[in-house]
Amino acid sequence: MIPLTAATASRSNTNVWTSALFAGGISAVIAWIMVMLFKAEIPVGYILGLVLIGAGPILGYNLAKGSLLSSWGAMIGGIVSFILPGVGMLLWPVLVGALDKTQSIGKLFLGSLLGIVLAFVVFFILANTMGQNPTWITTGVVFLFAVWGGTMGAAMAAWAK
């Protein structure tokens, strides 16, 4: 008789660039869906999209690690943190760090501050490039969340315990 077993494999060392790419990409797709639902004036859709942006960096980090749905607590913390949109990026590292045993709240907070600064720099460079065309705002929001999500994915991969 042949024993049948199931095994899951996850990487112990995660590449920072891969994690940043996956986290930024997932955050960008969620932000793009949110912006499209905002343009279509579907409030439930874009509010749900805004809340789900908090899960983008965690999904990207877990995808790069090789275990996509491994940290449910951190994903719930990321989603809950974006219920208050104004402070979501500052509340995110506190809730994710508290609910994920492999992440430090302080290091995630530093990464989030760095991500906020980089995201707004990219946002305003895009604004300066696009000029008076009002359609840049939707593209700018997608880039803002993509850069922030990519920075958080890189921070999670670089500083995991």
Domains of the chain, by residue range, sit at 16-158
pLDDT tens over the chain, length 161 residues: 666 565 555 556 788 999 999 999 999 999 999 999 988 888 898 889 989 999 999 999 999 998 887 888 899 999 999 998 778 889 999 999 999 988 999 999 999 999 999 999 999 999 888 878 788 889 999 999 999 999 999 999 999 88
pTM of the model: 0.88
Task: Output the six-digit token pair for 145.
Answer: 């969340």
What percentage of the chain's residues is helix, strand, coil (to nearest 5)?
Answer: 75, 0, 25
Q: What is the DSSP letter of 55?
A: G
Query: How many Å apart are CA 54 and CA 125, to the nearest integer?
Result: 24
- Determine how many CB atoms are found less than 10 A away from the CB of residue 10: 11
Q: At what angle do helices 105-130 and 136-158 cross, to 10 degrees?
A: 150
Cα-based distances in Å from 27 to 8, 20, 57, 130? 26, 10, 7, 22
